[in-house]
Structure 1
Amino acid sequence: MRAPKRPIQAVSTWVRRQPPKVKAFLAVISGMAALVLLRAIVHDHDNLFVAAEAVHSIGIAVLIYKLMKEKTCAGLSLKSQELTAIFLAVRLYCSFVMEYDIHTLLDMATLATTLWVIYMIRIKLQSSYMEDKDNIALYYVVGPCAVLALLIHPSTSHHIINRIAWAFCVYLEAVSVLPQLRVMQNTKIVEPFTAHYVFALGVARFLSCAHWVLQVLDTRGHLLVALGYGLWPSMVLISEIVQTFILADFCYYYVKSVFGGQLVLRLPSGVV
């Protein structure tokens, strides 16, 4: 006699059997339910943005722990870390010339730790770096973001270079995790610390996206007008949503793996 399935296992089995359109519908419903919950329990929605940066920092702390304890960078994407350093550096520049606040200090700390991770992968732990798996060319990611920033950027009173730089870091942040997802797609097996790190990125992206969506709802769309005119306000919101959905599939399998008691995450074909 087979043991009864746990509720989470039963639900995940049912979801897996559904056609893609049903899965997409369930994902949208789940996201909307989470937004409603956050709106009810978080009164100052600016705290969601701070929470997103805090979760990102926790993810990097997990990554640093992995590098120091296990003395290996296997499964990590150097290119994702380099893209992260690029958009953080550009965002810091924009913060200094456009607005200086607590987010500037948080970005400085995140950039410093990201540069340390890059140093560890490139120099100290180079022998364990899976270069053949980390095979997305950076210009395929940076180039389109730069072109898009030239075409669609804020219409504020700041200098045109600063406005283009601001748009560039928004677009680059949205896709900076793609090389890391490619590494995991190529290896199919993700060890715990890397999985924790990528899941933290997914949670951070969702909180950041929730911040923007709830701000737009609370201001009845006036926030989009405050960002400028043209396509830029919509592109900011779209970039946040893209970041969230890029990581949504991985986060689903991560949660399923944790509840199933698996230490190593095994991704099926087609994920990420």
Structure 2
Amino acid sequence: MMDLNSKDKSPGAAFLTTHKSNIALWSGFVVVVFFCYHLFSDGDFSFLMTMGAFVRAFGFAFLIFKAFSQRSVAGLSLKTLELYAFVFLFRLSSILRYQGYLPYDRSGDWLYTFLEIVALTLCCGVIYLVTMRFNSTYELRYDTFGWLHLPTELGGLYILLPCMFFGMLIHPNLNRNWFSDVSWTIA
């Protein structure tokens, strides 16, 4: 019988030992998603929107966990985080007052909106960690996109402005409100 504390660990045991916190977090995530699926879903296609909101919120929570456990935000892109914050703001401006873009099952009653608010809050938390708490580990020199006449700090505008332009031109009409429908399309 093999002792897990011995130096001759099998690759599987070594992997489990090294990544036990990640495995615990992902296992908890899967359990919560299955629980919410059975509790709030009617088993139809629209639960995928709620599932996506779960994944986004969990992803930002996982980023916060990793930043605190490693005491570093190396490798994170502030521009991407800022764009995610805009996505959540546009999406929330579309779903807080109207119901056209909400899931049709019970998860659309409150859970989907709640998860989007949680994801925005967590995204802002990661932005805080990058800009304030662990800013000494932020790698600005690698966080580059955008060029020509915009400074690198405004590189996200190369993605945001075309999305806004095309969102104004081409958008659905599920909420029957121009601003809300355009906001959903931009998101």
Q: SS of the residue aligned with 1:80?
A: helix
**Superposition pairs of residues 1-272 of structure 1, within 5 angstroms:** 43-99=43-99, 101-136=110-145, 137-156=155-174, 158-169=176-187
Question: Is the CA contact 2:60–2:122 (under 8 Å) kept in the aligned structure 1?
Answer: yes
Question: What is the distance in 2 between the residues matched to 1:46 and 1:164?
Answer: 21
Q: SS of the residue aligned with 2:65?
A: helix
Relative to structure 1, is the Cα distance of residues 67 and 141 closer, same or farther in structure 2, using a 3 angstrom cutoff? same
Question: What is the distance in 2 between the residues matched to 1:166 and 1:60?
Answer: 21
Question: What is the distance in 2 between the residues matched to 1:157 and 1:68?
Answer: 40
Larger relative helix fraction = 1
Question: What is the distance in 2 between the residues matched to 1:122 and 1:152?
Answer: 35
TM norm structure 2:
0.63
Report how far residue 120 of structure 1 moved. Answer: 0.6
Question: What is the distance in 1 between the residues matched to 2:88 and 2:43?
Answer: 28
Partner of 1:22: none
Relative to structure 1, is the Cα distance of residues 162 and 44 closer, same or farther in structure 2, using a 3 angstrom cutoff? closer
User: Which 5+ residue runs of structure 2 have no aligned equivalent?
Assistant: 1-41, 100-108, 146-154
Report how far residue 47 of structure 1 moved. Answer: 2.9
Question: What is the distance in 1 between the residues matched to 2:75 and 2:85?
Answer: 19
User: Which 5+ residue runs of structure 1 have no aligned equivalent?
Assistant: 1-41, 170-272
Larger radius of gyration: 2
Report how far residue 50 of structure 1 moved. Answer: 2.2
Question: Is the CA contact 2:49–2:112 (under 8 Å) kept in the aligned structure 1?
Answer: no
Question: Is the CA contact 2:85–2:120 (under 8 Å) kept in the aligned structure 1?
Answer: yes
Relative to structure 1, is the Cα distance of residues 108 and 148 closer, same or farther in structure 2, using a 3 angstrom cutoff? same
How many residue pairs match? The answer is: 128
Question: Is the CA contact 2:72–2:134 (under 8 Å) kept in the aligned structure 1?
Answer: yes
Report how far residue 43 of structure 1 moved. Answer: 4.6
